[in-house]
């Protein structure tokens, strides 16, 4: 496996993890916001 392919794979994994974290964080904020503004 070429180095560039390995780098590309790990980068896409990192981005996937980051976007999942962002979604979780946004969801938490949404719930907090809705709880406060009932």
Residue 29 makes CB contacts below 8 A (sequence gap 6+) with none
Residue labelled with tokens 């590309």 = 8
pTM confidence score: 0.54
> What percentage of the chain has pLDDT greater than the value 90?
92
The whole-number pLDDT of residue 21 equals: 94
Mean pLDDT of 16-34: 94
Assess whether pLDDT exceeds 80 at residue 38: no
* Residue 25 to residue 19: CA distance in whole angstroms: 10
Confidence bin at 28 (pLDDT 50/70/90):
very high
The whole-number pLDDT of residue 37 equals: 86
Mean pLDDT of 21-32: 94
């Amino acid at each position: 496996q070429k180095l560039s392919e390995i780098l590309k794979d790990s980068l896409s994994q990192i981005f996937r993890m980051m976007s999942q974290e962002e979604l979780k964080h946004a969801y938490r904020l949404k719930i907090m916001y809705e709880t406060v503004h009932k």
